[in-house]
Structure 1
Amino acid sequence: MSIHSESIITVEDKGIKAKFINEDNLDYVLIQVDGCVVKEGRRADFVLRKNEVGDLIIELKRGNVEHALHQIEETAKLWNDNKISNKIAGLIVCTEVPRVPTKIQDAKRRFFKMFRSHLTIKTGVREYKFVDLFKA
């Protein structure tokens, strides 16, 4: 777990990155889930927390978006079951998305139904406004 207040907060794993705009240089907490908080089973790479907004579950993936979806869902279940946060959202950053767009839409609907929260799936390095990912 680490505190970040940089104007751009970068989360990276195996060359895949997500960047978060922090215009006011507020404190964010970055939690490495995979291998630290959870050592076994399916789990997302990170959770980025901003007080007053919520916890963003992040999976950075080269391929196999379906596996990434399961990792995000399992981490969201863990967060819900243990009441770690009352507001969550999910972000998958990958190098490619499935060619069947209905799979992505179905996954987003399932995530919303299960957790009453939003799931965003994007390719490539992008800059995100943290709060927007909870409204997507």
Structure 2
Amino acid sequence: MSSCIKKINLKIITLSDKRGGRSKFILNNNNQIEIQRIEVDGCYIKQGKRCDYILSTENFDFLVELKGEGIKSGIEQLEDTIHKFYVGDSKSKRGKKAIIVATKTSPSTRSAIKTAKAKFKKYNSSLEVKNLIFETSI
């Protein structure tokens, strides 16, 4: 398990799709604060639905799912990860942002995204879905 968690303090942290997809998550960490990078999928959690990564700061977490397509399954993966990591735990009140970065989105997923955004609020989390690259700063 400890090999799944790395402490990093890089200025720019980039997460890419391990399966060779084009989706990327970029976190600008200008103050180089220490962040725990948890490789969830296939390392920390080996079975069941789970997101790809969690980047955890002292008081805020980014849950990242990098997809080709399949936004609805990405939503399920993020929700299941929240249940496994946070529900019923002292960390449940931590601020969270659940992020899906997909190479392809379709108009048919809009209503599922809207419903999921409302649902994620009860987990003290926002949900964002972006095409190809999601970039944010802390």
Interval of TM-score (by shorter of Structure 1 and Structure 2): 0.7 to 0.9
Q: RMSD across aligned C-alpha pairs, in angstroms?
A: 1.6
Counterpart of 1:134? none
Alpha-carbon deviation of 1:126? 3.3
1:31 to 28, 38, 42: 38
> 1:104 corresponds to which letter in structure 2?
I
2:52 pairs with 1:45: yes
Alpha-carbon deviation of 1:59? 0.4
Q: Deviations over 1:59-94 (max 9, x none)?
A: 000011100000000000111236262312211111
Give the unaligned 5+ runs of structure 1. 131-136
- Equivalenced residue count is 128
Counterpart of 1:133? none
Counterpart of 1:94? 102
For 1:82 and 1:37, how far apart are their aligned partners in 2? 19
Give the unaligned 5+ runs of structure 2. none
Alpha-carbon deviation of 1:127? 1.8
- Three-state SS of the structure 2 residue aligned to 1:31 is strand
1:56 to 42, 53, 62: 62
